[in-house]
């Protein structure tokens, strides 16, 4: 009875929270290929300090055990009937909270499931259920969606992109930085310095490795600095604030013209000189400052790339995003120094420095222009200025891609370009790719979907000529933008309600609408079986004065709500413990939850199953949860 009371107390405490969102467990998923068509699925949970989750093997009457459920077993054979549990912080023994022997894990645990797949691309979609506690309280059991070989769900990484995605993006950014004129010539010079100045080859390799590790420490430190300066709420708000996005547009245009060679972004000379003097001291500290000096001197080339990475990682809403992005960047940047020190003979295979390095830099400038207009589009969508409707945005990208191709053919010159004596096959091939991409964008200006870049251009509904613009709802669907009005329609038509927490500046929202909502088996249900309430959390329209309200945030501050978007953001946070978009909730006409857990960005198969299950529950009168929070969000 005491255990039941403790669990009930945990649920009531959790439901009583307003804007304080406790989410101490984050999940990530990856797949490793083994032999004989077998694959290892890794489900990794990382817990904040003091929090634990429980083993799969818990006796009845205790906490909710961790469990895994696959949506479909088509083409999948389980080699292990249950995942193995691997964690360095495993705790076994008597638990005074539940008064029984338990197995639980802190900090990090990996659940490993071996499967055999019919095909390497067989989709693996499902959900896991777990419960987390600390020494004072427990949170209610929670479901998290997972997907392998399919569009990833944000259930496990609800604060933004997947950790591996952020790391890989940083790694690719580091590879681009290597190909700039500020960094590439430094590789043979630095490696030669270590190999020639060291008494033995082993010592030279060791010094080069320390140099490479120093680069990683410097850039990861930069990512960590961004992380501790901004909390998750601030990072997330960057993606929806129109003035922040407008600022990013200006910054990225400045980055672009720097890459074009019209000016250089330089750090103060005194800082570079101080670092250079410190590098002369020798020893480990001297090597570290050599790496620091490289970072400072190369800033004119790496600064725009680093800035781009930090912005993209930060607006993803992930508090560890900047650290992961800089880790990937630093590993790519440091790798050649370590590899060529170990194998100096390979230096001869490197292409010679020359005009091609500036060509790479200029191409990066064009890419910065394209990204800049994405941020201007975000601001325009939120403010509804009408400056960058879909046709205008795609026309700008078309011109940018075409100019890249024309530049590669030598028809445009920038300040630091060398004379182009002949066209290489690589320049011609890249130019053709640029022209092909420009041609791909043309149908998008005439209301055709562009799946390759879905989420980047404004939605089709935000255009001059495509149908159903006024509703801000894709594919001719009927969307309400007021929860109260949608609920009234649902009651009148006796249909379930789909709450769509979305945003004007939400790329994943557009991807879901453009690549999932229009699929057979889904579009029919959205059109005929559900009433859709699309609630834009960054809508800055003023609320009627009578609907203004206040609430106390997790820090005890009084927050005034006087805009539509603020109301919907608080609605999502208070009632559903989420602050990311898209997020979908299924409800009946009595405001009861048809599915205990909503869905974020996910695969077609999972979203279709989600809608079908909600319809089945609605028809059978099955309720999986309650929403008792109207008074918290200014609803009458």
**H, E, C per residue of 378-408:** HHHHHHCCCCCCHHHHHHHHHHHHHHHHHHH
Q: Enumerate helices (H) and strands (E) in the chain, giving the number of each.
A: 18, 20
* Overall average pLDDT of the 366-372 stretch: 89
pLDDT digits over 322-359, tens only?
777 788 888 888 888 778 777 777 766 767 666 777 88
pLDDT at 521: 92
Region of poorest pLDDT, from 39-48, 202-211, 565-574? 202-211
Residues 6+ apart with CB under 8 A from 127: 68, 69, 71, 143, 144, 145, 146, 155, 597
pLDDT digits over 467-491, tens only?
554 457 888 888 888 888 999 999 9
Q: How far is Cα 277 from Cα 297, in angstroms, rounded to an integer?
A: 14
Q: How far is Cα 17 from Cα 26, in angstroms, rounded to an integer?
A: 20
pLDDT at 550: 81
Q: How many residues does the chain have?
A: 636
> Of 156, 128, 152, which Cα lies nearest the Cα of 141?
128
Region of poorest pLDDT, from 145-154, 205-214, 323-332? 145-154
Torsional class of 151: left (φ above 0), alpha (ψ -120 to 50), beta (otherwise): beta
Sheet holding 100-106, edge to edge: 90-95, 100-106, 52-54, 132-133
Q: How far is Cα 532 from Cα 478, in angstroms, rounded to an integer?
A: 7
pLDDT digits over 523-566, tens only?
999 999 999 999 988 887 888 888 888 877 666 678 788 888 88
Q: Could you tell me how far CA 10 lies from the centroid of its own chain? A: 30
Q: How far is Cα 427 from Cα 151, in angstroms, rounded to an integer?
A: 34
- Output the pTM of the full model: 0.54
Burial 437-463 (b: 16+ CB within 10 A, else e): bbeebeebbeeeebeebbbbbbbbbbb
pLDDT digits over 379-427, tens only?
888 777 888 888 999 999 999 999 999 999 999 999 888 888 888 898 9
Q: How far is Cα 577 from Cα 7, in angstroms, rounded to an integer?
A: 18
pLDDT at 163: 64
Token code pair at residue 40: 């290892």
| One-character DSSP codes across 21-65 | ----EEEEEEEEE-STTEEEEEEEEEE-TT-EEE-S---TTSSPP
C-beta separation of 577 from 636 below 8 A: no
Domains for the chain: give ranges and CATH numbers: 2-148 (2.60.40.1230), 163-388 (no CATH), 469-633 (3.40.30.10)
Token code pair at residue 459: 């939605």
pLDDT digits over 78-132, tens only?
887 788 888 888 888 887 777 788 888 988 899 988 888 877 777 788 888 888 8
pLDDT at 12: 35
Q: Tell me 248's DSSP state.
A: H
| Residue, of 88 and 287, whose pLDDT is higher | 88
Token code pair at residue 166: 């952020």
| One-character DSSP codes across 192-215 | HHHHHHSSSHHHHHHHHHHHHHHH
Q: Tell me 451's DSSP state.
A: G
pLDDT at 506: 78
Radius of gyration, alpha carbons of the chain: 27
CA distances to 181, 413, 430, 437 from 403, rounded to whole Å, are 22, 11, 12, 12
Residue 10 clears pLDDT 50, i.e. is over it: no
Q: Could you give the percent of the chain with pLDDT greater than 70?
A: 76
Token code pair at residue 621: 């009168």
CA 413, 416, 417, 418: dihedral to nearest 10 degrees? 140
């Amino acid at each position: 009875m005491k255990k039941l009371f403790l669990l009930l107390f945990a649920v009531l405490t959790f439901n009583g929270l307003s804007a304080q969102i406790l989410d101490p467990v984050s999940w990530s998923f990856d797949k490793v290929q083994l032999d004989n068509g077998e694959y290892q699925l890794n489900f990794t949970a990382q817990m904040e300090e003091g929090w634990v989750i429980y083993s799969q093997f818990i006796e009845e009457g205790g906490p909710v055990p961790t469990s895994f459920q696959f949506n479909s077993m088509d083409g999948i054979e389980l080699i292990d009937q249950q995942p193995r549990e691997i964690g360095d912080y495993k705790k076994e023994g008597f638990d005074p909270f539940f008064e029984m022997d338990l197995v639980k894990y802190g900090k990090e645990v990996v659940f490993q499931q071996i499967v055999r797949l019919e095909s390497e691309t067989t989709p693996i979609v499902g959900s896991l259920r777990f419960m987390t506690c600390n020494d004072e309280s427990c949170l209610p059991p929670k479901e998290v969606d997972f997907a392998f070989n399919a569009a990833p769900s944000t259930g496990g990484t609800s604060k933004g992109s997947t950790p591996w995605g952020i790391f890989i993006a940083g790694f690719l950014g580091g590879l681009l930085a290597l190909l700039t004129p500020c960094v590439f010539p430094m590789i043979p010079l630095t490696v030669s310095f270590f190999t020639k100045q060291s008494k033995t080859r082993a010592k030279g390799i060791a010094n080069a490795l320390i140099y490479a590790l120093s680069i990683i420490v410097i850039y990861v430190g930069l990512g960590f600095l961004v992380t501790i300066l901004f909390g998750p709420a601030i990072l997330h708000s960057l993606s929806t604030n129109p003035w922040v996005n407008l600022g990013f547009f200006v910054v990225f245009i400045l980055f672009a013209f720097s890459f074009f060679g019209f000016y250089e972004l330089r750090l103060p000379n005194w800082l570079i000189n101080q670092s250079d003097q410190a590098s002369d001291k020798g020893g480990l500290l001297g090597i570290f400052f050599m790496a620091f000096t490289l970072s400072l001197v190369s800033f004119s080339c790496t600064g725009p790339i680093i800035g781009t990475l930090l912005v993209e990682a930060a607006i993803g809403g992930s508090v560890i995003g900047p650290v992961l992005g800089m880790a990937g960047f630093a590993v790519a940047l440091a790798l050649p120094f370590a590899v060529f020190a170990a194998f100096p003979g390979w230096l001869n295979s490197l292409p010679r420095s020359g005009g091609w390095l500036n060509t790479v830099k200029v191409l990066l400038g064009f890419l910065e222009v394209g990204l800049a207009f994405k941020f201007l589009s975000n601001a325009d969508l939120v403010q509804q200025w009408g400056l960058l409707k879909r046709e205008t945005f795609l026309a700008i990208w078309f011109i940018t891609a075409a100019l890249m191709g024309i530049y590669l053919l030598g028809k445009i010159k920038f300040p630091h370009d060398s004379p182009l004596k002949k066209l290489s096959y690589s320049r011609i091939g890249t130019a053709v790719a640029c022209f092909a991409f420009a041609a791909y964008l043309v149908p998008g200006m005439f209301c055709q979907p562009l799946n390759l870049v879905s989420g980047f251009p404004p939605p089709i509904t935000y255009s001059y000529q495509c149908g159903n613009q006024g509703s801000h709802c894709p594919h001719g669907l009927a969307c309400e933008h007021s929860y109260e009005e949608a609920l009234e329609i649902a009651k009148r038509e006796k249909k379930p309600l789909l709450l769509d927490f979305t945003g004007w500046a939400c790329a994943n929202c557009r991807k879901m609408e453009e690549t999932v909502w229009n699929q057979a088996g889904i579009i029919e249900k959205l059109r005929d079986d559900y009433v859709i309430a699309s609630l834009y959390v960054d809508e800055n329209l003023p609320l009627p004065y009578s609907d203004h309200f206040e609430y106390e945030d997790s820090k005890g501050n009084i927050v005034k709500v006087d805009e539509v978007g603020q109301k919907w953001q608080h609605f999502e946070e208070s009632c559903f413990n989420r602050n990311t978009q898209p997020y979908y909730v299924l409800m009946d006409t009595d405001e009861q939850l048809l599915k205990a857990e909503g869905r974020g960005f996910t695969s077609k198969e999972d979203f279709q199953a989600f809608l079908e299950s909600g319809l089945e529950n609605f028809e059978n009168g099955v309720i999986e949860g309650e929403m008792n929070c109207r008074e918290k969000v200014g609803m009458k």
